[in-house]
Structure 1
Amino acid sequence: MTGGRSRLPLPPVLMYHSISPSAEPDPHALRVHPARLDRHLGLLRRLGLRGVPLTELVRAAERGAAAGLVGLTFDDGYTDFLDHAVPVLRRHGMAGTVYAVAGLLGGTNDWDTGPRFRIMDAGQLRAVAAAGQEVGSHTLTHARLAGADPAVLAAEVGESRRVLEDVLQAEVPGFCYPYGSYDDAAADAVRAAGYDNACVTGDYEPGDRVTLPRCYVSPRDTRAHLVARLVRHSVRLRRAVARDAARPAAPVAGAGR
């Protein structure tokens, strides 16, 4: 993994979960209708923006070439991503990152209460990758990582990457913290496992390469809501960068001797 622990300012990164036309109860507000996703992506195009996977966005930002890009992420790796999100993304000439729960491939979201969502199996993940979408890790079991002991972190963070790389026979550069739950030890585990980048939810601190903030998208978000989320990201990022600049510089090791 490249990069350090300083802030990496990025354009907005949108966070979706299930993309499905189902009318079943959705108590956790995870399900966005494919037609709504289509309207969201159509709006991005009209604004002159293109949705890309998070790793592509990070690397474009490092080159100073991220203008006009927006990150698209989809948590949990549900089968409806392949069935409903991929066709919409393809129609708009866009791509995103889907974060799979590596220890539950072919299973369901048994970490959650409420409706059951099917999780993609190995073959479906390979089909997603073949369709030009990025696959990232969302741990082995969708575990909360803040406060986890080192053995749990090593398995949930490191082993999940190995499982997915074995499935895909390709590098898995991205990680996503379930529930946005992380602490310094979890972030260090992500670095140690060799990930290129990792994302949280709406937390803008510290905002480095393995704690990149995202904007949650609600099932009821209209195009106006989406514009507001894009603007809010710019405001929050600008304030975070200003706070960074106002902090005293860290002392240089050995200075004053």
Structure 2
Amino acid sequence: MAPSTPSPAESIEQIKRALTVICILLVLGVSFWLIWIDQHRVVPVIMYHHIDVAGRHPVATVPTDHFEKHLRYLRDYQFEVLAYDDYILAKQQGEHLSRKTVVLTFDDGYVDNYTNAFPLLRRYGYPAVMFISTDKVGQPGYVTWDQLREMAAAGITIGSHAIAHEYLPGLPREQIAREITDSRRILEQRLGIPVRHFSYPVGGFNDEIKQLVRQAGYVSAVTTNRGFDRFNKDFYELNRVTMDEEDLVFPVRWAKFSGYYNLFRKAREPQ
């Protein structure tokens, strides 16, 4: 006996049931995806270089007025700007941090970090960490030791950015070790403060360099955005989010401060 052909009404009902199942599966899929995204949110560690007039420097520059707009955005949207030491301690203790938590970092020790960024950080009451290459201190365009002491006394964390800002993977092992250990010793002697954190110059590192940083007594090290640890579980390979002069557009700024940016950025091989 030939199977009966469903009536138009029955066909419509079957289509409705199929569409309902598809919609339920889509909702479940999107829900699980959103839950996964939320659980893997990473506290954004923001990286600045120059805070100055746009186009004045070859290295990434955020104009001073743009930088203030970043800080105002964080204040207006009630972000918690966490001191770097507190961020590391919270990670060590497995503490769950607010979705609106960010960390501010500066590389290289340019004098405009003192003249332009530091007054704004004080005005807004925000902490930050500045990673310093010791050979650069006092050179034209860079901070002086007195300026570093003033910032450290005001609550700015000082970290090491090696001695000469050399690309570490290209150096002999003995020189790498000196760049890592001696820079810390010099900073601690000149500033009279503990130096516990390291920033890889040019973002260059490998497993051996990470081990040398650990052995030198640092408790953390930051990269640029190189490496494949998107979730910042490795304390010696903490990825950062680079800010530049184009980050005033709201969607871009939101993405970088949101904590989801690292999940979707293109992973870059450590060099």
Q: In the alignment, what sits opposite 2:97?
A: 66
Q: Which of 221, 238, 246 in structure 1 is aligned with 2:247?
A: 221
Q: In 1, are the aligned partners of 2:41 and 2:260 still within 8 Å (CA)? A: no
Measure, in 2, the Cα distance between the counterparts of 1:217 and 1:104. 22
Number of aligned positions between the proteins: 221
Q: Quick one: higher RCO (CA 8 Å, sep 6+), 1 or 2?
A: 1
Q: In the alignment, what sits opposite 1:36?
A: 66
Q: In the alignment, what sits opposite 1:198?
A: 221
Q: Could you report, residue by residue, the CA deviation over 1:2-48 in whole angstroms, capped at 9, with x for unpaired residues?
A: xxxxxx9840011000112x3563333x2212211111011112222
1:230 counterpart = 2:254: no
1:53 counterpart = 2:79: no
Q: Could you report, residue by residue, the CA deviation over 1:89-121 in whole angstroms, capped at 9, with x for unpaired residues?
A: 11211110011111221014xxxxxxxxx1112
SS at match of 1:153: helix
TM-score scaled by length of structure 1: 0.79
Measure, in 2, the Cα distance between the counterparts of 1:50 and 1:34. 21
TM-score scaled by length of structure 2: 0.75
SS at match of 1:146: helix
Deviation at 1:70, TM superposition (A): 0.6
Measure, in 2, the Cα distance between the counterparts of 1:132 and 1:9. 27
Q: Could you report, residue by residue, the CA deviation over 1:135-190 in whole angstroms, capped at 9, with x for unpaired residues?
A: 10000000111243221111111100000001111100111001111111111111
Measure, in 2, the Cα distance between the counterparts of 1:204 and 1:49. 27
Q: Which of 25, 47, 51 in structure 2 is aligned with 1:19?
A: 51
SS at match of 1:185: helix
Cα 1:23–1:70 change in 2 (3 A) is closer
Q: In the alignment, what sits opposite 1:140?
A: 163
Deviation at 1:53, TM superposition (A): 3.4
CA RMSD of superposed structures (Å): 2.3
Q: In 1, are the aligned partners of 2:42 and 2:262 still within 8 Å (CA)? A: no
Q: Which of 75, 92, 96 in structure 1 is aligned with 2:128?
A: 96
Q: Which moved more, 1:202-211 or 1:178-187?
A: 202-211
The residue type equivalent to 1:140 in the other structure is I
Q: In 2, are the aligned partners of 1:55 and 1:197 still within 8 Å (CA)? A: no
**Structure whose CA Rg is larger:** 2
| TM alignment of 1:240-251, pairs within 5 A | none
Q: In 1, are the aligned partners of 2:102 and 2:257 still within 8 Å (CA)? A: no
Q: In 1, are the aligned partners of 2:129 and 2:157 still within 8 Å (CA)? A: yes
SS at match of 1:70: strand
1:167 counterpart = 2:199: no
Cα 1:82–1:239 change in 2 (3 A) is closer
The residue type equivalent to 2:86 in the other structure is E
Q: In 1, are the aligned partners of 2:197 and 2:219 still within 8 Å (CA)? A: yes
Q: Which runs of 5+ in 1 are unaligned?
A: 1-7, 109-117, 241-257
Deviation at 1:86, TM superposition (A): 1.1
Measure, in 2, the Cα distance between the counterparts of 1:220 and 1:87. 22
Q: In the alignment, what sits opposite 2:175?
A: 152
Identity rate, percent: 32
Measure, in 2, the Cα distance between the counterparts of 1:27 and 1:122. 24
Q: Which runs of 5+ in 2 are unaligned?
A: 1-39, 267-271
Cα 1:23–1:237 change in 2 (3 A) is closer
Cα 1:142–1:94 change in 2 (3 A) is same
Q: In 2, are the aligned partners of 1:204 and 1:236 still within 8 Å (CA)? A: no
